[in-house]
Amino acid sequence: MVFWEKLFGKGNKKNRERKEKNETQNKANSIIENYIAGLKKAYLQNNAIEEWTNFEKVIHGAKKGNIKKLRNVYPEVPNALIELLQYVDGTYWRKYKDDKITFFILGSDISEYPYYLLSSKRMVENRHNAREYFSDYIDRKYDGVDMDEKITAKSESVNWLHFSDCMNNGGTSSLFIDFSPSEKGKRGQVVRFLHDPDEFKVIAEGFEDYLKILIETEYDFINEETVEG
């Protein structure tokens, strides 16, 4: 009796874990589906039907090998980001066959300011960028730089996934998923870097929360000016 209870108990545990994983995956799917549907609506409302149609015609999702590499480098990468990459593998000077595109699909807490999505390959290539370019900021060596207390003060332990650059080719602002927060932060929080004046701010507790904020603010980064730009 004990043997069968242990045997079926293990099976039930695996089934529960599988069910929970599927529920998480379905949740991510619905978030991305809702996000893309709302983004498309924003483009159409701003007289950019042709731009959106061309975008959908050209793009494809990330290759399985690139997704695997991204997961190997960032085991905690959010499912929602993977789902987004499976829809479009980057919009920042991204070449799809014979077409090279630049297309805004993300925003931040900066009103009406659009961002590009980096490709899965670029995210892996940029894995050391935060430590290389921002270590002195993270270590709080500069006065007058606004650093969110949710961000670690130890650059040697920083682990950020760079997933987006702003319309100014990343020169003004970039977005990261932070897997090495301070004690006051949360693993997976989204960090926004802003240049001149320099500022590092946590703008969402997670990637899904970040997308929900963009939905709630009605994709204000998509307007006639940014579409025309």
- Summarised one tens digit per residue, pLDDT across range 161-215 is 999 999 997 689 999 999 999 999 999 999 999 998 899 999 999 999 999 999 9
Domains and CATH numbers, the chain: 2-228 (3.40.1580.10)
pLDDT of 144: 86
Mean of all residue pLDDT scores within the chain: 90
- Summarised one tens digit per residue, pLDDT across range 13-22 is 556 656 555 5
pTM: 0.87
- Concatenate the DSSP letters of all residues of 10-56 into one string: HHHHHHHHHHHHHHHHHHHHHHHHHHHHHHHHHHHHTT-HHHHHHHH
Number of CB atoms found within 10 A of residue 136's CB:
11
Q: Which residue has the tokens 């996000």?
A: 35
What is the DSSP pairing of strand 199-204 with strand 146-147? parallel
Instruction: Read off the pLDDT of each residue in 114-143 and give the average, rounded to a whole number.
Output: 95
pLDDT of 218: 96
From the centroid of its chain, how far is CA 30?
Answer: 16
